[in-house]
A and B are shown apart, each in its own frame.
Chain A
Amino acid sequence: MKVDVQGLVVRYGDVTAIDDLSFSLAENKIYGLLGRNGSGKSTLMSVLAAFRKPTAGTVLVDGEPVFENGRATSRICLVQHGVDPADKGDRLKDALALAGVFRESWDAECAERLMDLFGLPRTKKLGQLSLGQRSAFGVVVGLASRAPLTMFDESHLGMDTPTRYAFYDALLADYMAEPRTIVLSTHLVEEQAALLEEVVIIDSGRLVLHEETEAVRSRGTSVTGPTGLVDRFVEGLTVLNQRQLGPTKSAVVYGSLDRDASGTEGLELGPIPLQDLFVHLTEPAGVTR
């Protein structure tokens, strides 16, 4: 499913959660939605799923407005973290059956397979699950929905490492069997980066960047060496961060470098993990760590 967001604004009273946001998602890619706490990720996803009406701007899915559009929303699945208190008394098997009723794309066989994979007890009530189990149940519902737009809002919360790996394997296998547009919001940037074809980074409700994950990764470089040399090298470049250790300086620069740039003598140039780039790109101005 294609998504087009234009000039989106969401306000809660005095608070502007989404501030004039525009971007587009193509069909059948896996996107990562990254942002610090309170950056507007969950608000954005709930608007994309039509759980919430925007204050201003448009959200189109496959060219149609999403809000109060049953035909569109039946093809969208948002897995939020935390369970609606009203569901707490439902047994897992009943909750699954209910999830299937509303979706024509629902794959019951897939749901059963994933319930077994995560070892989820079918007769337990939702309110009795641990956080990790609740997250796993959300993943079951999200994947089995086979919705053309499926969004997971931090669906790894509380999962232990083996369970997260099982989640990633199941996600990839299911996506390859049935390609669709998937959005993952996450703070586990390093662990999940390889799953993401593109990343959308937002900060204070605004777009920081939207690009191919590999392109973002190749755009950050750390430059380390004697202070004078580093200063000369980074002149005119976008410096995201600088740190000093005695006579040695290390700077993080953003943007493509001339491959055969002169003046690298005596300097050590290295890559920056995506997670560190993300931290620097969303750092409040003037902060140095």
Chain B
Amino acid sequence: MRSRRRSGISSSPTAHPRRLAAGGLALALWFATAGSAPPDGFADGTWHGQMVWVSTVHSTHASGASDEVGEFDVTFAGGAPSASRFASVSLSSGATDVESGSGTAQLTVTIEGWVGGTAESPQLVAGQAHVSGVASAQGISVPVDFTLSESELRPLTLDFKVVGCSAVSGDLSTSVAAFLGDVAGAGLGGDVLEARWSAVRTGAAGLTAEQSAELSELLADATAIEADVEAGVFDPIDLAGILDRAEQFSSALDRNADCGYPAEFVSSLAGVMTIILEAMVATPDLWSASDFFEAIVAGVRAGVIGGATPSPLEGQLSDILEAKLGEAIGNADKNAATAVLLAAGALGDGDLVAAANEAVGQL
């Protein structure tokens, strides 16, 4: 059990009674060897999180780009947060007069707050947002300096993508978009391109500054890979390098004694890895069978693919690979059929392995 949110039987068209039966048996065996099941959110303990978002900012007359990084620390006890801290800084720049292009702005938004909500529905609460910088128009520069209070800012909800006992990660896009909508009332609006977060359970000692910076860089680098995939470019070598760094990062953290099933693991980048796979699944024609093989290997490595039973995402991958195999057979493309064979093997789809194996033998 590496993730509560990706467990469950595939509802894909290829779901088969034998798969369901085998999955049920495996699930039963898994629970038999498990300790307590992981929570649906943050487990009790001390956590350190990082967040990144990349967005465009605009208003009626302004446009630009904004990059933000943030971090939070929180201790959960009985599912309630305490001793928390949240801070972020975004740097925005762009044109303030889109039509004429005559104006520019360089703004820094500094947010300070805390972690609210619950372990299963946590929120980053902005106590205040301080906007400062310089706006220029028609040769005249004016300073920008104002503060938005908590009542003018809605909390950022941490949506979970993957939940593990020692690492949780997910998406911030929806709430960041709403947050930027709030700020738009002060002159800025935004479209969120990517907004991701990741947190690791640290123990009372927390992370060193170096570790915290590395987690932030890992998240930013993985999010850049995600952006590339969404633009139609996938570099598995780069992704493997980032996952390697994530493994070195995690190896310095201690396993928590109360994490239940002792073999449970989830990469701190599992949330972004899930989003990368979802993006590829949503655009299967953009990717080759070899691309999917590499992505599946990365998914297994990050703890996104695997666990007791095939997840819906795995079912979607099987469906795509099955279609890729059909194409390979139709095109007499032995290399593509072999790639499907490998991908199916890494995915653990025995039926597809057999079908691909037969196809390769005949091509």
Specify whether A and B are partners: no
Contacts from A to B (Cβ < 8 Å): none
Contacts from B to A (Cβ < 8 Å): none
